[in-house]
C-alpha cells in the first residue's frame, strides 16, 4: 500500500476547478478565480530584534524578511509575507514546502526560531478581473485601494466569512486589472467559496481552471 | 372627483400642461392602487402619481383610523404609508413619497377594514375623548389577565402594514468603502462641497436618498449661475461624474453615524423596479469609513397645528410646490395657503401661474411684509395676522376656517369659512440635524429661525446649507463650497479657490415661532400624524407631570413612528416648553438614533445567510464521509460524521457495529478537528510545566504524555496529549472545542505573563489531517500501511511515536488511545488527507476495518471513563475527576494556588462516577440522580448524568455523571430521573471506567 503514485494531494476546491476545465469561458464575467498549484508554505517564527536570526533567514531565503505590517518581500525562489511582528509565511514552489522547511531549520539551528511546513494549512486562490477589488471589498473592511493597499501589500484580514491572507499582486492602476492571491484556511475553503460566489454574483464571477 | 369610487377610469386630471422636469411624459406607466388601475409617468413617485390622478385619501391612521392623505414630498412623510408589491415582495409601511413608480407597481393602503373609504375602526376616532395618551396603560394593564384578552383586539385595530409571510425572493448585498470625505445630501450645499473637495483630489462619496441629485433645487424654480436650478444640478453632476475620485450615489441614505468615522448607508438598488435585474441585489448595505464628513441634509418644513389638520388635502407648502415643479402636478384646485414666512408668496405666484385658484393667503404675522404687499398688489387675498383654525371636510378638505390670531396662536375674533380643497401649510423649517446629532454634535437654538441648528463647537463633522440653518440658496452654495474646501485642506490637499455661482432663490426670511393655532373646543389638532398624537395629548402629559421630553415621547408616543417624528418632534417639545413656561432650548430634544430612515433587516443581513453566514469547517476526508452515508453534525464549527448510515440498520444498530468493530477488529475515525499547536523554543518544556498540572520537562524525546490544564481558578480547562518531537519542540493537541481558546490562552501567557520565556506557539490544526485507527487489529493494519516503519510494541509502545510513510504519505504516527484499544493517530499534510484515508480504507478490508463516527467514538470513551467538556463543565477540579495523581506538588502551574480554596477542598463535592442501567433500562438524557424512584417526589438530587450511551460492548445502557461523594457511592443502587422527559431508569453507581480498567488492551 505504499505506492507513492496513489498519494496525490487534493485541493479542497478540487471539484470546482475540475468542473471549470470542461466549461466554456464566461466572457461577460468581470471577476474570476483561478486555481493555483499546491504552493509550498512554511511558517517562520523569530524575533525581529534578533539580528542573527534575521541575517540567517536572509541568507537561507535570499530575501530580507519584511518587518512592518503589510510587508512582503520577494526573492528569486520564495516570497515572505509578514503575518505578525515575529511571524512570516514563506511561499515557495509547488511541493517545495518540506524541503524549504528542512533547509531553513538547518540554517537556523541554534537560534531562537521556529520553522514549520504548513503547505497543507492554507490553499491559495487567485482572484482577478476589473471587479475583483469590489468583490473583495464587499466582505473586507480594509481600504483596498491604492495607495492604502498597493501591489506587494499583504495582510491577514477577515474577508467574507473567513480570515485570509490577502496579497495584492496588482493594484489595477491605469490599464491594469487588479489581482490578488488569497490564502484560505483549508477547512473553510468551501464555505468561503460560497461567500465569494454570492459576493461575485452581481459582477459575473467565472472560474478558471 | 376623489378617485375613490370603484370602476372609475382615472385620467391624470391634476397633471398640468407644462412643468414637471422630473417626469418623462413620453413614458406612461400603468400601476395599481387598491382596486384601481391608474396611470403615471416615468419619474413619478407613487405619491405624485396618486395626486396626478386626484387620489387624496390613501390610508387610515394608526390609532384613530382617521382618513389620511399625502402630506409631504420626501422621506419626512408621516401619513402616506402604503404596502408596495404583492406576495413575498410585499413591503409594508413604504412612504408613497419616496417610492418610485414602475410599470405594474401594486400599491395598497393600510390599516383599514373592511375598506379604505368605510372603515369600522374609525369609530375609535368618533369615540375620540376615550383614547387619550396613556389610555391603554390606565385602562388595561391594571388587570394583566384581562389585558391578554384586550391585547388581541387592540393589536388588530392599531398597527401599520402586514409583513409578507413568504421568504423574500430577492438578494441583498454588503459593501465597504473608504473615503476622505463623505457628503450626506446632494442638494446645492452637498453638490458644492463635492465640487470643492473633488477638484482638490479628495476621495469623495456623495450620497443622496433621492433618485436624482439636486435636493431643493428640483422642487422650486430657482436659478444658479444664470441657468435653471435643475439644469445647474445636471451640469454639476456631469462635472463630478468625470472625476475618478468622486463617487456619486443616489437612492442611498446615510442611515447611521458611529465612532471612528464609521457610517452606514443603505443603497436601494432595485426598489424602483418591479424586481431586481438578474444577479443584482435589491438593496446594498454599506459601511463607509470616512476621514471627514459633511452633512448637507437640508431642512424639513414644519406644519402648524390646527383643528383637523390631518385631513387629506392639508399638505406642506413646499410639497405642494415640489409636486408642481418636479412632477407637473397640482395638488388641488382651490387652495388656502397658510404660513408664517415669506416663502408662501413665491409659491403663490408659481401655483397661480399653473392654474391653482388661491382663495386666500393666511399669514400669521401682523402687518404686511414686502413680499406680502407685492402679492396683495397682484390681487391675491392676503389675510395677515390670521390663522387657519380648522380644516373642514372628512375624507378630504372642503374648506378652511380662518380667524384673526395673536402671536401665540390664540384666536382674536370670529372665524369665517373659506371654500377650498387644499390647505398648504408652512410653519418654517427645521434643519435635518439627525446625522449631526448622531455624531454626538450638540444643538444650538436659533431664535430667528425658531429652530435647532448644529452647534459647530466640538462637532466632529461639518454641516452645511439648510441643514446648518442657511436656508438661502446663495448661502447654501457658499457654505457648501467652503466646507468642501476646508475638508480637503484639512486632509493636506490643496483646494483651488471655488468659483461660487450666483444664485437666485427664495427669500425665506424669518419665521416667527408658531406651533399651533387655538382650536375650537373638542377639536383635535395633530402634532404627530403617524402616531396620532395631538396637542391635547401633550397638554395631558404635562398635567400628569411628565417633565422630560424623553418621558413625554414615551408617554404620548410622539415621534416614535417609522418617520421618527421628522415633522413633529420640534413642535411637540415646543408645545411642552410653552406648557412649562420655559424656553425651548431648556426643554431640550429627544435623542436622535440611527437609522435616519427605516430600512429592511435583509439589507443589514446582506445575503449572509446559511453557510455563508455560518461557515462550516470540513476535513480533507469530508467528501468521503458524505459519500459513505456519514450523518453529519456540527462540532465546534466542524462538520463531522456522527455515524455512517447503512441500509437496513437503525442508527443505534449501526453505531453498535462501529463500536464492536473497534473492540473486536479495527476501526478508523477522522480526528482532524482536534486542536494542534506547534510549540518550539529553548523554554518550551519549562512553559509546558507551567501550563499543565503534570510535568513535561522530564518527557523523553519521541514520547507523549497526557496533560490537563487548569484555569487560574483551579478548575479543569482542557486536556490532550502532547508529544515531544525534539528537546525544544512539542506537538500539543487540544480538544476540538477549545482549540482556538487554548491558543489564545498560551499566547497571552507568553506575551503578557512570561515574556521572558523563549517559546513560539503556532496553531497548526489546519496543516494536519489525522486519522486514528484503533482495535486489536490496528497494529497489523499499520504494518501493512507502513512497511518502512517498525510498529512492534518495543519500537512503538503506548505514548510512543514514529515517522514514516503511511499509505505512501509522509506521516507522524502517535500511539495513543481514546478507545482503550491499541490505537495509532496518523497525521499527514492535509492536502494528502484523502489519499491517506482512502489508503487506510483499502488496506483495512482484510483486517475487518470499519469507519466510525463521533457517536461510536463517544461510546468508546464513555466505556473507558474518559472525561470531556460534558463532565469538566468549568466547575470541576482534578480531584472531582479522580485525577489527583496527575497534579504535581513539586512545581508551580496555572491554577495551582487556587487548589486550596475552601470550596475546592470542601467535603461533599460532586465526583465523577459511572452509572450502569439495569438490564433493558435506558438512562434518560440529562438525568438527575435520586434516591427515590419517583418522578414527582420532591427530593434532593444526588448528582446528574453528563454523558450516556448504549454500550454494545457491555450490552447495557451506561452513563458518566457527577455525584456527591461519588467515589464513596460505588455499588449503590439509585435512580436516573428526567422529569422533563418523563423517563426513569434504575442504575448502579460504578467506577467511571466500565471496560478494561487495567488498560491492558491499549498497551498490548
* Statement to judge: residues B289 and B331 lie in one domain: no
Q: Closest to B682 (Cβ–Cβ): which among A112, A116, A160? A: A112
CA distance B352 to B343: 14
**Which phi-psi region, left, alpha or beta, contains residue B914 (left: φ > 0; alpha: ψ -120 to 50)?**
beta
**Contact: A10, B834; criterion CB under 8 Å:** yes
CB contact under 8 A, B766 and A194: no
Interface contact A120-B173, CB threshold 8 A: no
Q: Cα B306 vs. chain centroid, distance in angstroms?
A: 39
Measured distance CA(B530)–CA(B514) in Å, rounded: 21
Place of cell 515574556: B755
Q: What is the pLDDT of residue B321?
A: 96
Interchain contact A99–B (C-beta under 8 A): no
On the question of a common fold for A13-37+121-208 and A39-117, the answer reads no
User: Residue B134: its pLDDT value, please?
Assistant: 66
Q: d(Cα B998, Cα B843) in Å, to the nearest integer?
A: 31
Residue B634 inside a domain? The answer is: no
**Residue percentage of chain B with pLDDT more than 70:** 94
Question: Please, are residues B384 and B366 in contact by the beta-carbon 8 Å criterion?
Answer: yes
> What are the residue boundaries of the structural domains of chain A, listed by start?
13-37+121-208, 39-117
Q: Is the dihedral of CA B634, B639, B642, B646 positive or negative?
A: positive
Predicted pLDDT at A2: 42
| Candidate from A2, A10, A122 with C-beta closest to B620 | A10
- DSSP-derived secondary structure letter, B130: G
Same domain for B324 and B397, yes or no, is yes
Chain A residues 123-162 with CB within 8 Å of chain B = 134, 137-141, 143, 145, 148, 160-162
Contacts of B835 in chain A (CB under 8 A): 6-10
Domain CATH code at residue B941: 2.40.30.110
Decide if B1004 is inside a domain.
yes
Number of domains present in the structure of chain B: 6
- A87-94 and A79-84 beta bridge pairing: antiparallel
Q: Name the minimum distance, in Å, from the CA of A50 to any CA of chain B.
A: 12
CATH of residue B691's domain is 3.30.70.1400
Q: Are B829 and B809 in contact (CB under 8 A)?
A: yes
Q: Render pLDDT for B75-105 as a digit per residue (tens, 0 to 9).
A: 999 999 999 998 899 999 999 999 999 999 9
Beta bridge partners of B774: B667, B823
Q: CB distance B832–A122 less than 8 Å?
A: no
Q: Is B862 a domain residue?
A: no
Residues in A 16-45 with any Cβ partner in B closer than 8 A: 38, 43, 45
| Average pLDDT of the segment spanning A169-197 | 95
Shortest alpha-carbon distance between residue B840 and chain A (Å): 9
User: What is the nearest CA distance from B702 to chain A, expressed in angstroms?
Assistant: 18
Distance between CA B76 and CA B527 in Å, rounded?
Answer: 14
pLDDT at B647: 94
Residue at a domain's end among B705, B740, B766: B766
pLDDT, tens digit, 9 for 90 and up, residues B485-535? 999 999 999 988 888 999 888 766 678 889 999 988 889 999 999 999 999
Residues of the domain holding B931: 907-1004
B562 band by pLDDT with thresholds 50, 70 and 90: confident
Nearest CB among B174, B681, B836 relative to A112 is that of: B681
**Domain for residue B661, yes or no?**
no
Cα distances (Å, whole numbers) of residue B794 to B725, B727, B790, B999, B1004: 18, 22, 9, 17, 11
Q: Largest Cα–Cα distance in chain B? A: 117
Task: Report how many Cβ contacts below 8 Å link chain A to chain B.
Answer: 161
Same domain flag for B712 and B754 = yes
Give the model's pLDDT for residue B156. 61
Residue B269, helix vs strand vs coil: coil
CB contact under 8 A, A162 and B619: no
With CB atoms and an 8 Å threshold, state whether B762 touches A45. Answer: yes
Q: Are residues B470 and B551 in the same domain?
A: no
- Quote the pLDDT of residue B511: 83
The torsion angle over the Cα atoms of residues B838, B842, B843 and B847, rounded to 10 degrees, is: 120
- Reported as a single tens digit per residue, the pLDDT across A156-169 is 999 999 999 999 99
Q: Do A120 and B611 touch (CB under 8 A)?
A: no
What CATH number did the domain enclosing B114 receive?
Answer: 3.10.20.440
User: Is any Cβ of chain B less than 8 angstroms from the Cβ of A87?
Assistant: yes
CA distance A197 to chain B (A): 10
Tell me the nearest-neighbour CA distance from A4 into chain B, angstroms: 5
What's the predicted TM-score (pTM) here?
Answer: 0.93
Q: Distance between CA atoms of B264 and B286, rounded to whole angstroms? A: 5
Q: How far apart are CA B390 and CA A120, in angstroms?
A: 79
> Taking CA A101 as the corner, what is the angle to CA A97 and CA A105, rounded to the nearest 5 degrees?
175
For B425-455, what is each residue's pLDDT tens digit? 999 999 999 999 999 999 999 999 999 999 9
pLDDT at B6: 44
**Contact residues on chain B for A114, CB-CB shorter than 8 A:** 678, 680-681, 760, 762
Cβ-defined contact of B617 to A12 (cutoff 8 Å) = no
- pLDDT of amino acid A4: 45
pLDDT tens digits, residue range B963-993?
A: 999 999 999 999 999 999 999 999 999 999 9
Q: H-helix or E-strand containing B771?
A: strand B768-774
Interface check for A109 against chain B (CB to CB < 8 A): the answer is no
Q: A202, B280: Cβ pair inside 8 Å?
A: yes
The answer to whether A43 and B762 are in contact (CB under 8 A) is yes
User: Hey, are the CB atoms on B805 and A137 less than 8 Å from each other?
Assistant: no
Place of cell 521572558: B756
Q: Does A112 touch chain B (CB under 8 A)?
A: yes
Q: How confident is the model at residue B55 (pLDDT cuts 50, 70, 90)?
A: very high
Task: Give domain status of residue B612, yes or no.
Answer: no
Cα gap A115→A82, rounded to integer Å? 15
3-class DSSP string for chain A: CCCHHHCCCCCCCHHHHHHHHHCCCCCCCCEEEEECCCEEEEEEEECCCCHHHHHHHHHHHCCCCCCCCCCEEECCCCEEEEEECCEEEEEEEECCHHHHHHHHHHHHCCCCEEEEECCCCEEEEEEECCCHHHHHHCCCCCCCCCCCCCCCCEEEEEECCEEEEEEEEECCCCCCCCEEEEEEEHHHHHHHHHHHHHHHHHHCEEEEC
The whole-number average pLDDT for the span B608-618 is 96
pLDDT at A143: 97
The yes-or-no verdict on residue B4 having pLDDT over 60 is no
What pLDDT band is residue B826 in, cutting at 50, 70 and 90?
Answer: very high
d(CA A168, nearest CA chain B) in Å: 17
Highest CATH level, class, for A13-37+121-208 = alpha beta
Q: Which of B504, B530, B560 is the last residue of a domain?
A: B504
- Domain contains B668: no
Neighbours of B9 (CB within 10 A): 8
Q: From chain B, pick out residues whose CB is under 8 angstroms from the CB of A7.
A: 807-809, 832, 835-836, 839
Mean pLDDT of the residues in chain B: 93
> Is B515 a domain residue?
no
Nearest residue of chain A to residue B173 (CA atoms): A199
Whether residue B148 is found in the same domain as residue B245: no
For the stretch B97-126, pLDDT in tens is 999 999 999 999 887 666 776 665 555 555
Give the confidence band of A181 by pLDDT, cuts at 50, 70, 90: very high
How would you label B267-288 residue by residue, b for 16+ Cβ within 10 Å and e otherwise? bbbbbeeeebeeebbbbbbbbb
Nearest CA in chain A to B287: A141
- Residue B513: closest CA among B340, B314, B301: B340
User: Which residue from A minimizes the CA distance to B767?
Assistant: A121
Answer yes or no: do B479 and B418 share one domain.
Answer: no
Q: What digits encode the pLDDT tens for the residues B692-728?
A: 999 999 999 999 999 999 999 999 999 999 999 999 9
Sign of torsion over alpha carbons B192, B193, B195, B196: positive
Which 46-85 residues of chain A touch chain B by CB within 8 A? none
Residue B877 domain-assigned? no
* Any B CB within 8 A of A108 CB: no
Same structural domain, B572 and B716: no
Please provide the CATH number assigned to the domain covering A39-117.
Answer: 3.30.70.1520
Across A126-134, average pLDDT? 96
Which grid cell is B296? 448637507
Residue B809: closest C-alpha in chain A: A7
**C-alpha cell read off for B69:** 392623505
B181: β partners: B204, B292
User: What pLDDT is recorded for position B365?
Assistant: 95
What average pLDDT does the segment A62-84 reach?
97
Is B200 within 8 Å of B494 (Cβ atoms)?
yes
The closest CB to that of A141, out of B287, B769, B836, belongs to B287
Amino acid at each position: 500500500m505504499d505506492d507513492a503514485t496513489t498519494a496525490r494531494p487534493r485541493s479542497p476546491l478540487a471539484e470546482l476547478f475540475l468542473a471549470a476545465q470542461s466549461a466554456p469561458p464566461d466572457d461577460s464575467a468581470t471577476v474570476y478565480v483561478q486555481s493555483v498549484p499546491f504552493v509550498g508554505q512554511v511558517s517562520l517564527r523569530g524575533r525581529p530584534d534578533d539580528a542573527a536570526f534575521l541575517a540567517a533567514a536572509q541568507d537561507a531565503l535570499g530575501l530580507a524578511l519584511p518587518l512592518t505590517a503589510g510587508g512582503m518581500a520577494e526573492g528569486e525562489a520564495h516570497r515572505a509575507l509578514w503575518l505578525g511582528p515575529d511571524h512570516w509565511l514563506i511561499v515557495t514552489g509547488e511541493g517545495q514546502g518540506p524541503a524549504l522547511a528542512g533547509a531553513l531549520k538547518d540554517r537556523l539551528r541554534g537560534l531562537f526560531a521556529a520553522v514549520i511546513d504548513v503547505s497543507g494549512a492554507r490553499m491559495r486562490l487567485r482572484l482577478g478581473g476589473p471587479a475583483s477589488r469590489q468583490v473583495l471589498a464587499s466582505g473586507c473592511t480594509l481600504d483596498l485601494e491604492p495607495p492604502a493597499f498597493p501591489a506587494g501589500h499583504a495582510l491577514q484580514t477577515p474577508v467574507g466569512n473567513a480570515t485570509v491572507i490577502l496579497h495584492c499582486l496588482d493594484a489595477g492602476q491605469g490599464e491594469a486589472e487588479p489581482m490578488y492571491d488569497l490564502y484560505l484556511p483549508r477547512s473553510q475553503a468551501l464555505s468561503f467559496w460560497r461567500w465569494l460566489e454570492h459576493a461575485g454574483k452581481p459582477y459575473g464571477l467565472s472560474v478558471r481552471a | 372627483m376623489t378617485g375613490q369610487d370603484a370602476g372609475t377610469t382615472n385620467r391624470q386630471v391634476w397633471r398640468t400642461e407644462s412643468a414637471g422636469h422630473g417626469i418623462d411624459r413620453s413614458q406612461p406607466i400603468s400601476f395599481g392602487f387598491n382596486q384601481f388601475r391608474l396611470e403615471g409617468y416615468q419619474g413619478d413617485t407613487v405619491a405624485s402619481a396618486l395626486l396626478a390622478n386626484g387620489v387624496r385619501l390613501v390610508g387610515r391612521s394608526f390609532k384613530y383610523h382617521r382618513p389620511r392623505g399625502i402630506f409631504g414630498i420626501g422621506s419626512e412623510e408621516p401619513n402616506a404609508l402604503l404596502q408596495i408589491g404583492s406576495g413575498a415582495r410585499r413591503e409594508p409601511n413604504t412612504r408613497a413619497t419616496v417610492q418610485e413608480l414602475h410599470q405594474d407597481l401594486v400599491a395598497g393602503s393600510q390599516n383599514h377594514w373592511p375598506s379604505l373609504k368605510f372603515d369600522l375602526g374609525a369609530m375609535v376616532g368618533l369615540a375620540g375623548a376615550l383614547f387619550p395618551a396613556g389610555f391603554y396603560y390606565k385602562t388595561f394593564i391594571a388587570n394583566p389577565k384581562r389585558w391578554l384578552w384586550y391585547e388581541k383586539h387592540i393589536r388588530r385595530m392599531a398597527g401599520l402594514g402586514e409583513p409578507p409571510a413568504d421568504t423574500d425572493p430577492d438578494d441583498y448585498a454588503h459593501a465597504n468603502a473608504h473615503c476622505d470625505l463623505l457628503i450626506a445630501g446632494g442638494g446645492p450645499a452637498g453638490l458644492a462641497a463635492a465640487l470643492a473637495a473633488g477638484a482638490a483630489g479628495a476621495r469623495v462619496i456623495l450620497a443622496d436618498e433621492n433618485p436624482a441629485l439636486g435636493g431643493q433645487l428640483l422642487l422650486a424654480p430657482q436659478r444658479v449661475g444664470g441657468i435653471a436650478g435643475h439644469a445647474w444640478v445636471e451640469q454639476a453632476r456631469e462635472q463630478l461624474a468625470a472625476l475618478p475620485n468622486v463617487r456619486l450615489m443616489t437612492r442611498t441614505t446615510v442611515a447611521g453615524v458611529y465612532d471612528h468615522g464609521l457610517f452606514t448607508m443603505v443603497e436601494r438598488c432595485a426598489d424602483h423596479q418591479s424586481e431586481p435585474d438578474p444577479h443584482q441585489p435589491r438593496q446594498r448595505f454599506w459601511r463607509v469609513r470616512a476621514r471627514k464628513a459633511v452633512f448637507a441634509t437640508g431642512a424639513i418644513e414644519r406644519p402648524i397645528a390646527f383643528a383637523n389638520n390631518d385631513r387629506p388635502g392639508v399638505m406642506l407648502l413646499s410639497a405642494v410646490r415640489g409636486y408642481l415643479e418636479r412632477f407637473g402636478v397640482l395638488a388641488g384646485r382651490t387652495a388656502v395657503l397658510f404660513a408664517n414666512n415669506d416663502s408662501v408668496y413665491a409659491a403663490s405666484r408659481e401655483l397661480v401661474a399653473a392654474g391653482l385658484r388661491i382663495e386666500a393667503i393666511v399669514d400669521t404675522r401682523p402687518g404686511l411684509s414686502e413680499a406680502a404687499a407685492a402679492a396683495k398688489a397682484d390681487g391675491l387675498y392676503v389675510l395677515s395676522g390670521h390663522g387657519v383654525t380648522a380644516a373642514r371636510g372628512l375624507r378630504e378638505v372642503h374648506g378652511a376656517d380662518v380667524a384673526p390670531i395673536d402671536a401665540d396662536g390664540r384666536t382674536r375674533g370670529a372665524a369665517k369659512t373659506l371654500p377650498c380643497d387644499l390647505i398648504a401649510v408652512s410653519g418654517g423649517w427645521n434643519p435635518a440635524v439627525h446625522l449631526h446629532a448622531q455624531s454626538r454634535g450638540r444643538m444650538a437654538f436659533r431664535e430667528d429661525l425658531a429652530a435647532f441648528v448644529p452647534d459647530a463647537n466640538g462637532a466632529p463633522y461639518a454641516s452645511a446649507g439648510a441643514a446648518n440653518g442657511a436656508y438661502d440658496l446663495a448661502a447654501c452654495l457658499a457654505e457648501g463650497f467652503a466646507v468642501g474646501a476646508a475638508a480637503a485642506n484639512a486632509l493636506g490637499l490643496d483646494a483651488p479657490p471655488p468659483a461660487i455661482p450666483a444664485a437666485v432663490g427664495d427669500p425665506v426670511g424669518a419665521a416667527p415661532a408658531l406651533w399651533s393655532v387655538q382650536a375650537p373646543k373638542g377639536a383635535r389638532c395633530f402634532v404627530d400624524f403617524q402616531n396620532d398624537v395631538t396637542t391635547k395629548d401633550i397638554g395631558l402629559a404635562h398635567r400628569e407631570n411628565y417633565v422630560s421630553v424623553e418621558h413625554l415621547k414615551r408617554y404620548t408616543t410622539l415621534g416614535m413612528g417609522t418617520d421618527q417624528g421628522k415633522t413633529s418632534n420640534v413642535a411637540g417639545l415646543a408645545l411642552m416648553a410653552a406648557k412649562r413656561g420655559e424656553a425651548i432650548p431648556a426643554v431640550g430634544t429627544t435623542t436622535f438614533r440611527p437609522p435616519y430612515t427605516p430600512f429592511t433587516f435583509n439589507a443589514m443581513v446582506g445575503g449572509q445567510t446559511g453557510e455563508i453566514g455560518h461557515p462550516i469547517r470540513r476535513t480533507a476526508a469530508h467528501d468521503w464521509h458524505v459519500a459513505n452515508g456519514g450523518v453529519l453534525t456540527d462540532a465546534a464549527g466542524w462538520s463531522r460524521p456522527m455515524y455512517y448510515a447503512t441500509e437496513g440498520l437503525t442508527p443505534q444498530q449501526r453505531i453498535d457495529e462501529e463500536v464492536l468493530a473497534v473492540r473486536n477488529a479495527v476501526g478508523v475515525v477522522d480526528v482532524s478537528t482536534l486542536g494542534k499547536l506547534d510549540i518550539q523554543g529553548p523554554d518550551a518544556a519549562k512553559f509546558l510545566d507551567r501550563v499543565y498540572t503534570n510535568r513535561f520537562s522530564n518527557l523523553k524525546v519521541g514520547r507523549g504524555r497526557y496533560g490537563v490544564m487548569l484555569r487560574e481558578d483551579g478548575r479543569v480547562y482542557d486536556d490532550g496529549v502532547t508529544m515531544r518531537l525534539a528537546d525544544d519542540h512539542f506537538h500539543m493537541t487540544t480538544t476540538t472545542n477549545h482549540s482556538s481558546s487554548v491558543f489564545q490562552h498560551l499566547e497571552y501567557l507568553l506575551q503578557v505573563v512570561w515574556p521572558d520565556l523563549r517559546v513560539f506557539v503556532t496553531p497548526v490544526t489546519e496543516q494536519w489531517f489525522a486519522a486514528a485507527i484503533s482495535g486489536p487489529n490496528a497494529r497489523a493494519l499499520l504494518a501493512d500501511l507502513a512497511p518502512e516503519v517498525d510498529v512492534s510494541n518495543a519500537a512503538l509502545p503506548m505514548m510512543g511515536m514514529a515517522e514514516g510513510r503511511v499509505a505512501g504519505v509522509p506521516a507522524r504516527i502517535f500511539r495513543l488511545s481514546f478507545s482503550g484499544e491499541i490505537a495509532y493517530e496518523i497525521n499527514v499534510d492535509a492536502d494528502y488527507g484523502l489519499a491517506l484515508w482512502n489508503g487506510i480504507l483499502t488496506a483495512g478490508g482484510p483486517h475487518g476495518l470499519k469507519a466510525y463516527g463521533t457517536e461510536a467514538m463517544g461510546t468508546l470513551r464513555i466505556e473507558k471513563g474518559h472525561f470531556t467538556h460534558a463532565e469538566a463543565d468549568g466547575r470541576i477540579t482534578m480531584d472531582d475527576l479522580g485525577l489527583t495523581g496527575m497534579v504535581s506538588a513539586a512545581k508551580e502551574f496555572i491554577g495551582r494556588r487556587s487548589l486550596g480554596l475552601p470550596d475546592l477542598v470542601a467535603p461533599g463535592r460532586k465526583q465523577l462516577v459511572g452509572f450502569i442501567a439495569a438490564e433493558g433500562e435506558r438512562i434518560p438524557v440529562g438525568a438527575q440522580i435520586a434516591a427515590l424512584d419517583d418522578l414527582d417526589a420532591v427530593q434532593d438530587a444526588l448528582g446528574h448524568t453528563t454523558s450516556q450511551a448504549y454500550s454494545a460492548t457491555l450490552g447495557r445502557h451506561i452513563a458518566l455523571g457527577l455525584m456527591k461523594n461519588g467515589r464513596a457511592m460505588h455499588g449503590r443502587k439509585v435512580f436516573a430521573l428526567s422529569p422533563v422527559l418523563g423517563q426513569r431508569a434504575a442504575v448502579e453507581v460504578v467506577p467511571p471506567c466500565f471496560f478494561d480498567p487495567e488498560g491492558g488492551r491499549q498497551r498490548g
